[in-house]
């Protein structure tokens, strides 16, 4: 050790994503000596390879489609998209963010160490040949794209590449039909690419309300996306300037880019978890209800966990805030997850929170109530008639779940999140006086209908 005092911390984080820095900041403010070790960009996937770049690329595409809904209703202008300029715009906003956030953390007193962290033993982490010790460690190493073992897999690209493409290829093939593939298919097809999707099952977006997923498939087919269901990639070849993807069912898809989006795997390898005595499975690091691993002084948070909660930014933030409170002594309670809202940023979006209609139908005591959002005057006014919602009420008439299929599903689900999380009654919702016109101002009425039936 070069200088044991210099490298001794109260809490050391491996990874600098949402699951780390949202804990590191409050811990530093509480007087703890905190370090974050990051091998790539500060602030992790969401900031540079996930939520943020994706939504900047999606936003103008949604705007164009929204505007097109007014065709024949008083707005006839046409818009076009310049992918390269949009990419430059996105990069100009996001490229500075890792340094900006790194400086914010350093200014607050967090030591930022750039390099790959590896446990030498349960008390020591080595970075760039230097040893770091800490009272407590938090492994927040996230996930990375899974790559299939097929001939030619080295030619495959991932969402990381798509989100930085300087030019949009004429043809794209996506393998998989989960969040990543469906969002990329939505953006790329509307931006002008010919998109094909190879999916190993007969459905898309597992976990979401499937009638909405089926409606989305039909909408995207209308936008030119071609789906090949119950098929798998078996080989990828480069032939001159183009690629050919061969599938199990005998297709040979000629294309300019093949993006693999068959899921993400936890970054549990190469960190020395065995040397530290930290247990993990192929789904991630195993923790108890205090986010403690099999080594009581080593914690883990975020996407790297083996957990049933969705691996999303809000989940990582919630876990990080919990650890901030736990490790600064502000709480000694176990983590208590609230319902977690989730959304696929396709066009239309599909979002949900709480008990799904599918789960409700499998148990006694729930009422499932479809709501035709697209028939409400404000949705009709925007030309947004293909909008639907399904609410789930429990035996006491409280709203416990909501699924939405709508261009505005983000706002709809976020508006219902406090109602579901705080178990608000219609009478309590009456006390919430929202600005009007808005979806929010219909909530008390929806709750009353759910109670009445």
Ligand X SMILES: NC(=O)c1ccc[n+]([C@@H]2O[C@H](COP(=O)([O-])OP(=O)(O)OC[C@H]3O[C@@H](n4cnc5c(N)ncnc54)[C@H](O)[C@@H]3O)[C@@H](O)[C@H]2O)c1
* Interface ranges with ligand FAD (CB under 6 A): 14-20, 37-40, 44-46, 49-51, 54, 116-117, 140-143, 159, 180, 267, 271, 302-303, 311-314, 316, 345
Give the shortest CB-404-to-ligand X separation in angstroms: 14
Task: Measure the CA–CA gap between 213 and 197, rounded to whole angstroms.
Answer: 14
CA distance 81 to 139: 41
Structure tokens at 320: 């990080």
310 binds, among ligand FAD, ligand X, none (CB under 5 to 8 A by kind): ligand X
Q: Compute the distance between CA of residue 404 and CA of residue 208 in angstroms, rounded to an integer.
A: 10
Cβ-based burial of 321 (10 A; exposed 0-12, middle 13-18, buried ≥19): middle
Each residue 258-287 as x (binds ligand X by CB under 6 A) or -, in order, gives ---xxxx-----------------------
Instruction: Report how far residue 170's alpha carbon sits from residue 189's, in angstroms, rounded to the nearest whole number.
Output: 10
Instruction: Work out the burial of residue 376: count CB atoms within 10 Å of its CB; fewer than 13 is exposed, 13-18 middle, 19 or more buried.
Output: middle
> Which region, judged by CB under 6 A, interacts with ligand X, from 69-77, 251-259, 308-316, 321-329?
308-316
Look at the block and give the residue holding tokens 């949402």.
18
| 312 or 444: CB nearest ligand X | 312
Q: State the minimum distance, in angstroms, from the CB of residue 332 to ligand X.
A: 30
Q: Where are the alpha helices (DSSP H) in 272-403?
A: 273-276, 313-327, 357-362, 377-381
Of 188-217, binders to ligand X (CB under 6 A) are 198-201, 206
Binding status of residue 353 toward ligand X by CB under 6 A: no
Nearest residue to 258 via CA among 216, 198, 205: 198
Q: Name the binder of 14 from ligand FAD, ligand X, none, CB < 5-8 A by kind.
A: ligand FAD
Q: Interface with ligand X includes 151 (CB under 6 A)?
A: no
44 contacts 16 by C-beta, under 8 angstroms: yes
Does position 343 bind ligand X by CB under 6 A? Answer: yes
446 interacts with, out of ligand FAD, ligand X, none, CB within 5 to 8 A per kind: none
16 binds, among ligand FAD, ligand X, none (CB under 5 to 8 A by kind): ligand FAD
Rounded to whole angstroms, how far apart are CA atoms 266 and 34?
24
Q: Which is nearer to ligand X, 315 or 328 (CB)?
A: 315
Residue 111's binding partner among ligand FAD, ligand X, none (Cβ under 5 to 8 angstroms by kind) is: none
User: Is residue 14 within 8 Å of residue 116, measured between CB atoms?
Assistant: no
When CB distances are held under 5 to 8 angstroms depending on the partner's kind, the choice from ligand X, ligand FAD, none that residue 291 binds is: none
Q: Is 341 in the site for ligand X (CB under 6 A)?
A: no
- Calculate ∠ Cα 323-324-330, nearest 5°: 100
Which spans of this chain sit near ligand X (rule: CB under 6 A)?
148, 175-181, 183, 198-201, 206, 232-233, 261-264, 310-312, 342-345
């Amino acid at each position: 050790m070069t200088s044991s005092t210099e490298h001794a911390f109260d809490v050391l984080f491996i990874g600098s994503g949402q699951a780390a820095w949202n804990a590191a900041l409050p811990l530093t403010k509480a007087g703890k000596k905190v370090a974050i070790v990051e091998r790539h960009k500060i602030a992790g996937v969401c900031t540079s390879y996930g939520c943020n770049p994706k939504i900047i690329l999606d936003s103008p595409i949604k705007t164009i489609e929204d505007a097109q809904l007014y065709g024949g209703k008083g707005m006839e202008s046409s818009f076009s998209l310049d992918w390269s300029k949009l990419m430059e715009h996105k990069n100009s906003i996001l490229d500075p963010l890792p340094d900006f956030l790194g400086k914010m953390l350093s200014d607050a007193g967090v030591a930022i160490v750039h390099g790959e962290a590896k446990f030498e033993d349960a008390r020591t982490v080595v970075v760039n040949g230097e040893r770091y010790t800490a009272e407590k460690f938090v492994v927040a190493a996230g996930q990375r794209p899974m790559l299939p073992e097929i001939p030619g897999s080295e030619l495959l690209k991932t969402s990381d590449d798509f989100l930085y493409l300087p030019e949009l290829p004429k043809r794209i093939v996506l393998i998989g039909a989960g969040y990543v593939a469906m969002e990329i298919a939505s953006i790329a097809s509307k931006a002008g690419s010919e998109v094909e999707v190879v999916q190993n099952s007969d459905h898309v977006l597992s976990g979401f309300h499937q009638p909405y997923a089926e409606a989305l498939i039909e909408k995207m087919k209308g936008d030119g996306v071609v789906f090949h269901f119950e098929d798998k990639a078996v080989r990828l070849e480069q032939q001159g300037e183009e690629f050919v993807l061969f599938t199990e069912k005998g297709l040979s898809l000629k294309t300019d880019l093949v993006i693999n989006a068959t899921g993400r795997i936890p970054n549990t390898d190469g960190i020395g978890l065995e040397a530290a005595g930290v247990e993990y499975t192929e789904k991630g690091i195993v923790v108890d209800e205090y986010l403690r691993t099999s080594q009581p002084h080593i914690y883990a948070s975020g996407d790297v966990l083996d957990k049933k909660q969705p691996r999303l930014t809000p989940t990582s933030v919630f876990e990080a805030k919990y650890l901030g409170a736990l490790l600064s002594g502000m709480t000694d309670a176990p983590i208590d997850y609230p319902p977690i809202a989730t959304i696929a940023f396709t066009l239309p979006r599909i979002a949900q929170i709480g008990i799904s209609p599918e789960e409700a139908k499998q148990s006694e005591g729930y009422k499932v109530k479809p709501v035709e959002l697209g028939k409400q005057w404000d949705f009709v006014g925007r030309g947004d008639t293909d909008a639907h919602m399904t609410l789930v009420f429990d035996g006491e008439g409280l709203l416990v779940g909501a699924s939405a299929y709508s261009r505005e599903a983000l706002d709809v689900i976020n508006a219902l999140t406090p109602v579901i999380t705080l178990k608000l009654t219609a009478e309590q919702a009456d006390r919430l006086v929202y600005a009007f016109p808005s979806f929010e101002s219909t909530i008390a009425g929806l709750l009353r209908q759910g109670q009445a039936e």
